[in-house]
C-alpha cells in the first residue's frame, strides 16, 4: 500500500504566510500533500491558495462560505481526507507557528501511537515569542484539562498533530462541535476513550510570523466548560 499524508491547513487572512508554509510542508516528504481550508478570507488568501494549487498537484483547496471556526474547518478537512486514500491526516497552523520539520518525526511516531501530538511542554516549555500572560494561560489550561478529563497529556491543547486514518474513521465527527482549545482537547479525549494510543513528541512553537492571532475570550471560556461536558458524556457512554 502506498502511504500518503494530508496536512490540513485552515486559513483566514493568512496571505503573508501561506505560500512559504505550503512549500515547507511539501519539502519534508514526497508522500505529503496539503489541503488549504479557507473561510472566505477577505485578504485574498483563498485566491492565492487556488494559484498555488494550480501550480502543484499536491496542493488542494476547500473553500467555505464564511468564517465558520477552526474546529469545523478541521472536520471539513478530515471528511475530505476520508473520501480519499490518505494514511495519515495532520493538523497544522498556517501562520508559521508550527515548524513543518516536525512532520517527519510525527510520521515515525505513528509506529507507536495512533494520534501523535506535537507538544510544547514535554521537555520544559518550548515556546518562543509568546507574552507571559499567553504562556501561563496555555500552560494552566493544559493542567486544568488533564485534571478534569484524566487525559495524560502535557499539551492536550496543541493544534499540531497527526491522526492515523483509522482514528478518524472511528470517531463520530458529526458530533464534534468544539473549536479552538476545546476542539483539540475533545479530539484527543475521544480518540483515547475509543482505545487509541495517544502520545506526544516534543516540538518548538514560535508565535505567528505574520497576521493576527485568532485567540479570544470566547475560545478560553468554551474550553473551561467543554471539558466538563466531555467528562459527563463519557461517563454516560455518549461520546
Contact by Cβ (8 Å): 74, 188: no
How many other CB atoms are found less than 10 A from the CB of residue 22?
A: 23
- For the segment 6-15, the average pLDDT, to the nearest whole number, is 97
Partners of 60 in beta bridges: 35
Residue in this structure with the C-alpha cell 496542493, named with its chain if needed: 59
How many other CB atoms are found less than 10 A from the CB of residue 172?
A: 10
Stated length of the chain:
239
pLDDT digit string (tens) for 68-117?
A: 989 999 999 999 999 999 999 999 999 999 999 999 999 999 999 999 99
Query: Which band of pLDDT confidence, cut at 50, 70 and 90, is reported for residue 218?
Result: low
Instruction: List domains and CATH numbers for the chain.
Output: 5-235 (3.90.550.10)
In percent, the amount of the chain with pLDDT more than 70 equals: 90
Lowest mean pLDDT of 12-16, 58-62, 140-144, 224-228, name the range: 224-228
End-to-end CA distance of the chain: 32
* 64: three-class secondary structure by DSSP: coil
Among the residues of the chain, which ranges form H helices? 18-28, 45-55, 70-82, 103-109, 132-149, 165-170, 180-193, 217-235
CA 186 from chain centre, in angstroms, equals 12
Rounded Cα–Cα distance for residues 203 and 49 (Å): 27
pLDDT digit string (tens) for 23-33?
A: 999 999 999 99
Amino acid at each position: 500500500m502506498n502511504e500518503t499524508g494530508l496536512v490540513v491547513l485552515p486559513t483566514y487572512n493568512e496571505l503573508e504566510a501561506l505560500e512559504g508554509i505550503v512549500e515547507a510542508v511539501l519539502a519534508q516528504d514526497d508522500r505529503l500533500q496539503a489541503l488549504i481550508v479557507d473561510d472566505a478570507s477577505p485578504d485574498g488568501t483563498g485566491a492565492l491558495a487556488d494559484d498555488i494549487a494550480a501550480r502543484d498537484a499536491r496542493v488542494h483547496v476547500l473553500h467555505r462560505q464564511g468564517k465558520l471556526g477552526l474546529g469545523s474547518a478541521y472536520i471539513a478537512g478530515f471528511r475530505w481526507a476520508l473520501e480519499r486514500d490518505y494514511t495519515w491526516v495532520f493538523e497544522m497552523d498556517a501562520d508559521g507557528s508550527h515548524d513543518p520539520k516536525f512532520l517527519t518525526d510525527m510520521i515515525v511516531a505513528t509506529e507507536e501511537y495512533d494520534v501523535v501530538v506535537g507538544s510544547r511542554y514535554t521537555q520544559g516549555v518550548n515556546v518562543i515569542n509568546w507574552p507571559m500572560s499567553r504562556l501561563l494561560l496555555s500552560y494552566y489550561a493544559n493542567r486544568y484539562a488533564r485534571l478534569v478529563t484524566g487525559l495524560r497529556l502535557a499539551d492536550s491543547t496543541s493544534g499540531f498533530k497527526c491522526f492515523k486514518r483509522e482514528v478518524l474513521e472511528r470517531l463520530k465527527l458529526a458530533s464534534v462541535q468544539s473549536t479552538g482549545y476545546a476542539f483539540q482537547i475533545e479530539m484527543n479525549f475521544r480518540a483515547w476513550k475509543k482505545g487509541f494510543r495517544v502520545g506526544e513528541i516534543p516540538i518548538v512553537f514560535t508565535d505567528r510570523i505574520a497576521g493576527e492571532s485568532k485567540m479570544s475570550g470566547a475560545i478560553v471560556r468554551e474550553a473551561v466548560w467543554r471539558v466538563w461536558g466531555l467528562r459527563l458524556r463519557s461517563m454516560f457512554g455518549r461520546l
